[in-house]
Amino acid sequence: MERRRFLIGCGAGAALFASSKWRMMASPLSNLLPADNDHTFVLLFLRGGCDGLQLLAPISDEHYQDARPKSLKLSDGQGYRIDQEYQHTGFSFHPEASALKELYDNQDLAVIHACGLTNGTRSHFDAMHLIERGIEKNTSGHEGWMARYLKAIDSKSYIPGVSVSANLADSFTGYGKASSINNLADYNLMEGLRVPQLIKQMYSGDPIMGSAAEQTLETIQYLQTNLTDGQRADLERGIQGYPTDWSSRELSRSLQTVAQLIKMDAGAKIINVDYGGWDTHERQANVFPNLVKGLSESLGAFYNDISAKKDKVTVLVMSEFGRRLRSNKSGGTDHGHGNFMMALGGKVNGGKMFGEWPGLHPKTLDRGVDLAVTTDYRNVLSNILRNSMQFNNSSSIFPGFEGYSDLGFIQ
């Protein structure tokens, strides 16, 4: 055998065995256009229990002012005051939330306060489990609510449900076509191992990994055939127009991926993004401002990035619960109950607050310690499904939930 031929066969170094097999895999599905409704619902989950009472502070409430030390609350004159009182209470955004305030003032962002689980759990894992399954009582074996929705609309899109993270959000549990994508740019099999056909054969019919493997190969194929060179270059260049400081970097990267999926019309119906670190039991004053800054600036940059498509996107920001009104003795706050949710998008009736603000009088607090829940989280999700997603049968997505009402925050 000729040495030259042999070396071609072996390749050299890391660029070895480069023989892309994607052409073989190409199927008629590869350029599928987004199906029916082309709206995308982005759920931004603040994991750990965000202290809503410091992010959007009821500063005129005397019980609020009495319950916390200076470092864990906003006092009058601090932060960005919302012009109009809401239900006789004055609210201010945190000083690091200037981008959120701007979105609010531009009427793109609406706030629904005192939302959450009506189940009184104070456990992160319990609360997240319930919320991601769209239920209120713990019963085993439920699939995720996003899974139920995607099954119900029977989306023909290639990647209808996406977790922008290295793992799949529990809300997608039970839906084989959900994908997790951490980084679009390098979402491919390694050179030297581009053997989709072999993988397909190996995994076909595997009871544990079969459907996930198939979805992985399809996602790779879709992205590799549809990502334009320009988009790829954008992604490789890194975060353009997004904040890159330490506190914002991670969320910026995730939201940039979301923006790319939206801009490439990938047909994603629901996208889940996580932003963690909110479990501030101690030294909250040290970490909270950076978390808020990361949230506010990344979200602002994202909205700017997708501005041409903003009427096709609804973002909902939520957390599993709020934090206790009264702080603890180690400079933090413990697990609470009610919390804000924020909706952002072209269809949102922004610049307003919605829902019933129960106040912080000891008599109206949940169990005498926490902000009460006056709006079931499933009602907020149903409002988005019914309005922006034009899906009327929301009660099938949230079994047992009968309290639907039009909250008015979304067209």
Partner 1 sequence: MALDKALNRVTYGVLPEQLKKAEEQGWSNWVAAQLQRTTDDSTCDQMIQNISYEIEYKEGGRKKKKNLDLFRYFATSSEIWDALKDLDNPPEYLTQAGAIETALVTWTKAIHSEHQIFEMLVEFWHNHFNVSVQTEDYIAASFSIYDREVIRKNALGNFRTFTEDVAKSPCMLLYLDNAFSKSGPANENYARELFELHTLGAMHYYNHLYDDWKNVPVNIDGTAKGYIDEDIYEAARAFTGWTVGSGKTNHEVDLPSTGEFYYYDQWHDHYQKRVLGNEFKSHQNAMEDGQQVLDLVCYHKGTAIHLCTKLCQWFVSDTPSEELIAGAAAVWSQHAKADDQILKVVEYILLSEALMQNLQTKIKRPNHLVFSLARKIGLEPGIEWIWILSQMGWKQFSWPLPTGHPDKASYWINSDMLLKRWNCVPMMLYINMERGNKTRFMDETLKLEKTDIDSLINYWSMQLIGAELSSEIKREIERELLVEMEEMKGQEWAMLAKDYPDGLEYKLLQLVSMIALTPEFHKR
State the residues that interact with partner 1 by CB under 8 A.
1, 3, 5-11, 13-14, 16-17, 19, 119-126, 163, 165-168, 173, 178-182, 187-190, 192-193, 195, 197-199, 201-203, 206, 208-209, 212-213, 215-216, 219-220, 276-277, 279, 281-282, 326-332, 334-335, 367
* Amino acid at residue number 105: D
In the complex, the smallest distance separating the C-beta of residue 159 from partner 1, rounded to whole angstroms, is 9
CB burial of residue 1 (10 Å; 0-12, 13-18, 19+) = exposed
Least separation, in Å, of the C-beta of 40 and partner 1?
18
The two three-digit tokens of residue 122, written as one number:
């104070």
If the CB atoms of residues 192 and 241 are measured against partner 1, the closer one turns out to be 192
Choose among 42, 76, 46, 77: nearest CA to 61.
76
Q: By C-beta, is 6 or 308 nearer to partner 1? A: 6
Kind of pairing, strands 40-46 and 270-275?
A: parallel
Expressed in angstroms, the distance from the first to the final Cα of the chain is 71
DSSP per position, 259-286: HHHHHTT---SEEEEEE-----SS-HHH
**Measured from the CB of residue 9, what is the shortest distance to partner 1 in angstroms?**
3
Least CB distance to partner 1 at residue 121 (A)? 4
For 86-114, letters b (16+ CB in 10 Å) and e give: beebbbbbbebbbbbbbbbeeebbbbbbb
Smaller CB separation from partner 1, 267 or 345 = 267
Q: Is 134 left (phi over 0), alpha (psi -120 to 50) or beta?
A: left
Nearer to partner 1, 144 or 345 (CB): 144
Pick 124 or 263: Cβ nearer partner 1: 124
User: Least Å distance between CB 369 and partner 1?
Assistant: 10
CB closer to partner 1, 216 vs 256:
216
- C-beta of 331: minimal distance to partner 1 in Å? 8
Token output for 340: 């804000």
Which residue, 254 or 388, is less far from partner 1 as judged by CB? 254
- Do residues 284 and 330 lie in contact, with contact meaning Cβ atoms separated by under 8 Å? no
Pick from 47, 272, 313: which is nearest to 150 by CA?
Answer: 272
**Shortest spacing between CB 155 and partner 1, in angstroms:** 16
